[in-house]
Structure 1
């Protein structure tokens, strides 16, 4: 018996414990302090995968987080000033690797490597958006409106980023007012939004609307949105509460604002005509505010890049739906899709990550590697709720298959 136990211990050390508890395997809940979300220690995945995680994911990402700041920031000091100025920033930048821990929990081999590249792209794009904020933020520059301020376009987080491609080569960058202060932060640290929900309810908003819209309004109530653009484009979200959100944003921001309402219907010819008119009016508004004309060739160039990324996504979805060889977790896939479509091709990180993931995916298909061999169910996890804690889908696989 002692020899058998020793053999199992050596095998578990070298390869990592089996997935299921029935096989004497891992019990991921035991990694945490009881009744908390605090890890006692990191998961041991076997020698190969643990060292891969330590160097190729943990170490690699921390190094590149610093390099991204140096790459995208006009003055790295502004980044650190912003960390002290904004509550959401201090609560999420340093613990970002804990986001990786939750989303990649229980993963080995190809699933660990491929899913991590999606997370890496999201971190890189987030840092670029943060730097776009801070490069132009009047609060970090003594109230002065610099050139970056005049070349930044503020939009709502569900506004399609492709709308702003015609001005990209003229030096304009668009950035969502809520994507970083709210949407990203609640994935990295879900406790950050509670303060903003309390803030907007304190001025009289009832507690029953969508908490997402409440938090997005709350960051304006607490003056926690950088002042980085001379005007704003807003659009409605998938719930009625967003109308109140944009009303409050208009009050607190006090800037020229264009409301771009999106219909909840898509196949009505009259709706198509209405949307075309709204988008054209939005483009006229941007031309008036920037003094820079619409550039069709510029838009076409970046749309072609966007379409290439979309074709990559279709290919990945085909493998996921028709084979057992797709190496990405549900959370890593869903968040990558949300981030990349909302921010658009303002950065090359989406293309780079997609190519790396496809290479791993092709290997899985060619060698018939099943990265999730314990799968028993397929679950459709819709929208924000299962992603709110950033790892519901991963947790569901580890618990139920």
Structure 2
């Protein structure tokens, strides 16, 4: 028990055959207090969120919302064995997702015709909501500063399945009972099952779909449209999007999506807002490149599953529209540089490097942490 990496066996925190830990990890006084302080902060954020009437109603309305009961355990598992800069970087990334996700769900529940907007209380807010496919890049939202672009799939399936891996099995089974082929990617399959089960919030004035990352997503969108009962537009992005011959087509798809949004919301594309958000977006990408370059060295600093989930949120969902994330990126970069200068190791011994990839509904996201703690693979 102490501040050093691998100072105690992490497996002893769990009872045989049980998934939850018996106690919190002791990381030395300084790191333990920091970790506990972050735990309290998340408790306050989630407590404030869960006490809202719309959230309480959602808890008893949507099956998938129960997955978030394991949110604290999720963060703990993904920071097992971590100390020093990596602990602080991990918390900054995970905790920012907690804050952003609760805001997203708050908007969805307020505008939901089943919950907050059952009697038109949030009609004005709902008029500003555009439903965006979880795999659709939010870059198109950069030019609409007065609109709220939200994805219902992200809280319902995408993030929920990282927190509770078996939490979306029900929806996959619903899809297969609907005679959807069982070899379809589990993410769009689960999303489709959620739509068939009528378990998505009903809100927004229009919806943007896309065919990425695979045709399974496009298949699901067609049935989700029946659930949404909203005007929708599908951006059919070419898979070989860097090929010169498809660039004009890709541009036309984006322009058509923008016109569709303008028609159904009454808002006009704002080039100044787009340029401002692009500047933030590019600055974030430059810092991310710094992280990757650092990770090529013998002293990688930003690794584990937190970099993936945080990057998904920042790059795809936020897309430069929230400048506070740029400030957070700079703080993370400063921590990483300090750790690199001090030759801090992310694991007791770094033996190999690995890139772990998989669909969230399909693989165990804490696998990265197990690799680092037990095998020195980062």
TM range (shorter): over 0.9
The residue that corresponds to 1:149 in the other structure is 126
Greater gyration radius: 1
Match of 1:329 in 2: 303
1:396 paired to 2:374: no
Structure 1 length as normaliser, TM-score? 0.87
1:35 is displaced (CA, Å) by: 2.5
Go from structure 1 to structure 2 and tell me whether the alpha carbon gap of 1:276 and 1:313 turns closer, same or farther (over 3 Å shift): same
Q: Is the counterpart of residue 263 in structure 1 residue 238 in structure 2?
A: yes
The question of 1:301 aligning with 2:276 is answered: yes
Report the CA distance between 1:16 and its aligned residue. 4.8
Superposed CA offset, 1:304-339 (max 9, x none) = 111111111111111112341x33232111111111
User: Which residue of 70, 79, 87 maps to 2:55?
Assistant: 79
Superposed counterparts of 1:104-115, under 5 Å: 104-115=79-90
Distance in structure 2 (CA, Å) of the matches to 1:277 and 1:173 = 23
**In structure 1, C-alpha distance between the alignment counterparts of 2:13 and 2:40, rounded to whole Å:** 21
Counterpart CA distance in 2 for 1:215 and 1:18 is 38
Alpha carbons 1:186, 1:389 under 8 Å: kept: no
1:58 maps to 2:34: no
1:338 aligns with 2:312: yes
The secondary structure found in structure 1 opposite 2:233 is: strand
Deviations, residues 179-208 of structure 1 (Å, cap 9, x unaligned): 111101111111220111122222221222
What is the alpha-carbon distance in structure 1 between the residues aligned to residue 109 and residue 103 of structure 2? 10
1:374 is aligned to 2:349:
yes
CA distance in 1 between partners of 2:332 and 2:144 (Å): 30
Q: As a proportion of its length, which structure holds more helix? A: 1
Which residue in 1 is equivalent to 2:108? 133
How far apart are 1:26 and its partner, in Å? 2.6
* Structure 1: distance between partners of 2:270 and 2:29: 53
User: Within 1, Cα distance between the matches of 2:326 and 2:158?
Assistant: 22
Tell me the matched-pair count. Answer: 373
Cα distance in structure 2, aligned partners of 1:278 and 1:60: 42
Q: 2:21 aligns with which of 28, 39, 52?
A: 39
Query: 2:66 matched to which residue of 1?
Result: 90
**Contact 1:121 1:349 (C-alpha < 8 Å) held by counterparts:** no
**Are the counterparts in 1 of residues 5 and 347 from structure 2 also a CA contact under 8 Å?**
no
Aligned pair in 2 of structure 1 residues 379, 387: CA closer, same or farther (>3 Å)? Answer: farther
SS of residue paired to 1:153: strand
Unaligned runs of 5+ in 1: 1-11, 20-24
Instruction: Identify the residue that residue 252 of structure 2 maps to in structure 1.
Output: 277
By how many angstroms is 1:66 displaced? Answer: 4.2
DSSP-derived class of the 2:75 partner:
helix
Deviation at 1:31, TM superposition (A): 1.7
- CA–CA distance in structure 2, aligned partners of residues 18 and 268 of structure 1: 47
Q: CA deviation at 1:77?
A: 2.2
* Aligned match of 1:215: 190
Q: Does 2:335 align with 1:353?
A: no
**Partners of 1:302 and 1:348 in 2: CA distance:** 8
In structure 2, how many angstroms separate the alpha carbons of the residues matched to 1:260 and 1:387?
26
Distance, in Å, in 1 between the alignment partners of 2:364 and 2:234 is 30
Structure 2, unmatched stretches of 5+, are none
TM-score when normalising by structure 2? 0.92
Return 340-349 or 263-272, whichever deviates more: 340-349
Q: Which runs of 4+ in 1 moved over 4 A?
A: none
